[in-house]
Amino acid sequence: MQTPLDSLNKGHSDSELGSNPCNLCPRECKVRRAEGQKGYCLSDDRIIVARADLHMWEEPCISGERGSGTVFFSGCNLRCVYCQNYEIAAAVKGKEVTVSELSDIFLSLQKRGAANINLVTPDHYVLQIAQAVSEAKVKGLVIPVVYNGSGYEKPEVIERLASVVDIYLTDFKYMESELAERLSKAKDYPQVAKKALEAMVKTVGKPVFDENGMMCSGVIVRHLLLPGHKKNAKEVIRYVYETYGDDVYISLMNQYTPFERLRSMEGFEEFCRKVTKREYETVVSYLLSLGIQNAFIQEGDTAKESFIPDFNSQV
């Protein structure tokens, strides 16, 4: 079956994209994943899914009352020291599935009432995901597809997902290169994220909602406020709003969770605490001062490990 990403698999020139050798993400580690080698993302070409279930904790227009049909993929091309999904980012947890089985997972979630199919950390599996979505659509998949990523994506890949993805729920973590290198081993993150976001907005356009307020297409930019880093948050928010205005929604998150493992890592002492209420309110006030209308903010204590999905459950 032909998919919009079939061309990614053809050839190995610098102008083409594929996974053997792999240049699907900005790391361009060039490993031969189809031959069993694992890339910087800690993944070969096998699809490893850590969890697939209805998820109620996304933004209101994504989860709604029915829940988002969320599929968590194992592996990641970042090395965020504070990652709340560490077990799957490190490819410790997960179950191997085929393209056909992944397609059936999408359909099963739709049958259970999912508002959408929510692909979490999908970038290193875009070839297989495109095939699975195509198969699922032939078999009756009609709900929107959400690309829930880190923002560290290649614009060329985003552009070729035009007929696969309807909504981008993307992080924009850093506007400070030094912070990006220190926390995620990605000094070029700000430049990469800017180009990726540009491609996302160009590909899916302005936000569109149904009669129930659920997003059908569009872009939501998430920023997780880090303890002691209000300046970075303000720079991200200002850039996104000044560049795209109301064409994207901004989601400012206060749910940073300090894990015990950080206490044993030298040089990260400042991240061994939660974001204070005052820190978060300061950034919210800044957001409002810019005149931003399309935004989501969080209330209450969301920095709890109970908000992190159980990756020991069945796929």
Element (H, E) at 307: none
pLDDT at 315: 61
Angle at 83 between CA 18 and CA 54, to 5 degrees: 80
pLDDT at 1: 44
Could you give all domains of the chain from N- to C-terminal order, each with its CATH number?
A: 46-307 (3.20.20.70)
Strand partners for 54: 69
The radius of gyration computed from the CA coordinates of the chain, to the nearest angstrom, equals: 19
Nearest to 50 by CA among 152, 123, 119: 119
143: left (phi over 0), alpha (psi -120 to 50) or beta: beta
Strand partners for 210: none
Tokens of 249: 């929604």
pLDDT at 124: 96
Asked whether the bond before 60 is cis by omega within 30 degrees of 0, the reply is no
Strand partners for 215: 209
Q: How many CB atoms lie within 10 A of CB 140?
A: 10
Nearest to 165 by CA among 210, 138, 129, 112: 129
Nearest to 45 by CA among 107, 131, 104: 131
User: What DSSP character marks residue 149?
Assistant: E
Length reported for the chain: 315
pLDDT tens digits in sequence order for the chain, 315 residues long: 444 455 454 443 445 889 899 999 999 999 999 999 999 999 999 999 999 999 999 999 999 999 999 999 999 999 999 998 877 887 677 999 999 999 999 999 999 999 999 999 999 999 999 999 999 999 999 999 999 999 999 999 999 999 999 999 999 999 999 999 999 999 999 999 999 999 999 999 999 999 999 999 999 999 999 999 999 999 999 999 999 999 999 999 999 999 888 888 888 999 999 999 999 999 999 999 999 999 999 986 554 443 444 444 446
- Name residue 105's amino acid: I
At 70, is the secondary structure helix, strand, or coil?
strand
Please give the Cα distance from 163 to 204 (Å, whole number).
9
Tokens of 90: 């490190």
Query: Contact 119/66 with Cβ under 8 angstroms?
Result: no
Query: Contact 213/63 with Cβ under 8 angstroms?
Result: no
Expressed in angstroms, the distance from the first to the final Cα of the chain is 25
What are the distances in angstroms from CA 35 to CA 22, 39, 46, 76? Answer: 11, 11, 10, 19
Query: Contact 103/132 with Cβ under 8 angstroms?
Result: yes
Asked whether the bond before 155 is cis by omega within 30 degrees of 0, the reply is no
Tokens of 60: 């209101």
Q: How many CB atoms lie within 10 A of CB 68?
A: 28
